[in-house]
Every structure is written in structure tokens, then in C-alpha cells.
Amino acid sequence: MIKVTALSRLHQEIRQPLRQRLDEVYGQDVHMEGKWMIACEEKLKELTGRKHVHMVTSGTSALMLMFMALGIDQGDRVICINHSIPSSVMPPKLLGADLIFSDINKHGQQDLTGIDKEDVKAIMTTGLYGDCHDHDLIADLGIPVINDSCQAFLSKYKGKEATSIGDASAISFAQNKTCPVFGTYGAVLTDRDDWADDFSHTRRCGYLSRNNVNLDHIGINAQPHADKCVQVYTSLEYVLKWQERRQQIADEYRDALKDTGILIRTSPDYSTTNNHKFVLFVDNNIEFMKKLADMGIESHLHYRYNFSKNKVLSKDTTKDFPMTDFFVKHAITIPSHPWLKKDEMSAVMDAVKKSITKKDLDLKI
């Protein structure tokens, strides 16, 4: 099966420096924080232009820390995306927020035109598929922006690194992300000194030292481990090379599919994609997925969720979100990870071409 992600190939590529560094880490008695955490944070400052970076144990915990720094309370209204992975919206929900959902647009980005900003405590923005939200629409509203840029690391908003936008932003290093590791990890980024001070405390259950008597922060266990930071740092050394490869694959796929008439997701004009996902639109994505699987090609459905229709998340389940419905029914992600080989790319393209029906070609977005 040609897979959507390729952890074993990632490991094959980075194993030499990784093994050496892990031996060093496992040969010491310090398992938390340390020099590899600092190395990751410095490297991420360089790549994103952010003033402060804190490594944490996942993208989800990065989002949680941002909402804690903001001081979200029971019943606070938070605008957030209606269609994504559930991790995007769980942190504000866990803290008691009322989620006000915005639909996506035809690019799969959060539609922030004409949002109801009445009494809103925060706008949570989420970039999907390798692009980001249109930040200028909300930049001057005077409402804090929590940027879920977990998928958007190294994509650009009007030429500016997507993770540098908003009061704070998050990166995920999960296995399918721009900069993958084995398992998952995260980072929280900000230019605000007050929030950076909070993150130092809140990522380790509210305290910086066991020797202090008083606690003045509430926190969670998101304190980074030395061995995982070795993984992140080692992947960060390769990430720009992987970005080039992702671009080549996307270009070759577009070229191979250009005469078929199949709909391919496009980026908004303001965004330079990081090619995180290569998404096609087909009449019935479940049927299409089965056909690809029969030809040895794995594909994923991003995503199946219409958050507003779930009572655990939404007070009003009656509202319609047409573009969410479109993506739920029609979007399909094909393998495009940087370790794909030439013959595998050809096999993916052959399988896609063989699976296309007239109904797929009649689809409009």
C-alpha cells in the first residue's frame, strides 16, 4: 500500500544524527528540558521570526496554554472554525467557552468575512491543508487572535510566515505535519512578553522551581522531554529540504492531472502554501477512497466533522455550513509526503485517473 504518511522513511533519513543525539541524551540523567529544548526554541525563532517560542508536548497543549494565557472563562464567546480536526476546538471548549463557528471557503480556509464580533473574547483562526486564514480581515478588530497554525508552519500570509501572525500561534510536529516526528509534539509562539512568562509556568503545572513556596499560575503537564526535543530538532534540520520536495510533488501532480478535468483544491491568492496536503474534490469521496485502496493507494478524508452539528460542541445545531458539507462529502487527500518515490507518484496518478467518473467531472465548487 502507498501510504499517506511515511514514518519509517522519515526515520531512515534522519537516523544517523538522531541515534547519536539520543545516545547522548539517554546517557545523562536529565530527561526534561535541557539543551535540545533550547536548540529547538532558537531554531524555531529563526524560522518563524517570533520573539518567544516554548516547546510543549503537543499542538493541542500549545492551544490550551494560549487560551489559559488569555484567561478564558465559562461562557466566553470564542469564534472558531467549523471544520477541522477536533483538537482545534477542544481547548477552548474544555475551558468552558461558547464556540461560535465560522464556515470554511472553497480553499478550505476559515471564512472570516462578516463575522459576528459582538461580545467576542477571542478569535481562534485555523489554517488547513497548507494555507492560512485571511488575517487582514480581523487584524484591527481589537480582539485577541489565537492562531491555530498547527498545519500552517512554513506557509506564508502575504509573504509573512503564517506562524508569526496573531497574539500567539501553535505548531504541531505530529507525524503528518510539515515537520514530522515519531508521535506528536508541539510549540507555542508569541511576541508578547506577558504571555511568554505565562507559558514558562503553565507548561509545567504552574511552577518553575520545586523550591518555591507560592504558586501564582494554574498549569498543565506540557513540559518538554529531552529525547523528543532531539527528534524535533533533527527534523527541523531537514524541514526546508522536505518543503522543496513537497513543492516538486505538488507541481508534478498538478501537471499530471491538468487534462483530466478533476477539481484540485487551490490556495487563496494571499497565501503561499506549504503543500501540507494534496486535496482533490470528487463526487463521493468514500467510494473514491475505496477505489484507490483497491489499487493499493491509501487516501484520507479531511475532515468528516461539521462541529456545529455536534451537541457536545454546539448550542445551536440547526445552522447550515454549506462549504463544510461540501468538504465532508467531496474532499479526498492523496499521498504527497516528501519520501514518495517516482514510481509511487506515477502509481498514485494512474489510480486517480482510473477512478475518475463523469460525476466527478460534473462537480463544481
Ligand X SMILES: Cc1ncc(COP(=O)(O)O)c(C=O)c1O
Residues that bind ligand X (CB under 6 A): 58-60, 84-85, 87-88, 126, 148, 150-151, 172, 174, 184, 186
What are phi and psi for residue 70, nearest 5 degrees? -70, -25
Between residues 87 and 355, which has the closer beta carbon with respect to ligand X?
87
Can you tell me the distance from the alpha carbon of 133 to that of 207, in angstroms, rounded to the nearest whole number?
35
Q: Quick one: 84 or 267, whose CB is closer to ligand X?
A: 84
Separation between Cα atoms, residue 316 and residue 307, nearest integer Å: 11
Q: How far is the CB of 172 from ligand X (least distance, A)?
A: 3
CB of 149 to ligand X, least distance (A): 8
Chain centroid to CA 36: 23
Nearer to ligand X, 111 or 148 (CB): 148
**Torsions phi, psi for 42 (to 5 deg):** -65, -45
In the complex, least distance from residue 305 CB atom to ligand X, rounded to whole angstroms: 12
CA–CA separation, 88 and 338 (whole Å): 25
Q: How far is the CB of 57 from ligand X (least distance, A)?
A: 8
Task: Give whichever of 59 and 166 is closer to ligand X, judged by the CB atom.
Answer: 59
User: In one letter, which amino acid is 175?
Assistant: Q
By beta carbon distance, the residue nearest ligand X is 59
Cα-flanking dihedrals φ and ψ of residue 41, to 5°?
-65, -40
- Which residue type, as a one-letter code, is found at position 213? V
Task: Considering the complex, state which of residue 230 and residue 257 has its C-beta at the smaller distance from ligand X.
Answer: 230
Query: Which residue, among 200, 202, 203, has the nearest Cα to 218 in the 3D structure?
Result: 202
- Shortest spacing between CB 2 and ligand X, in angstroms: 21
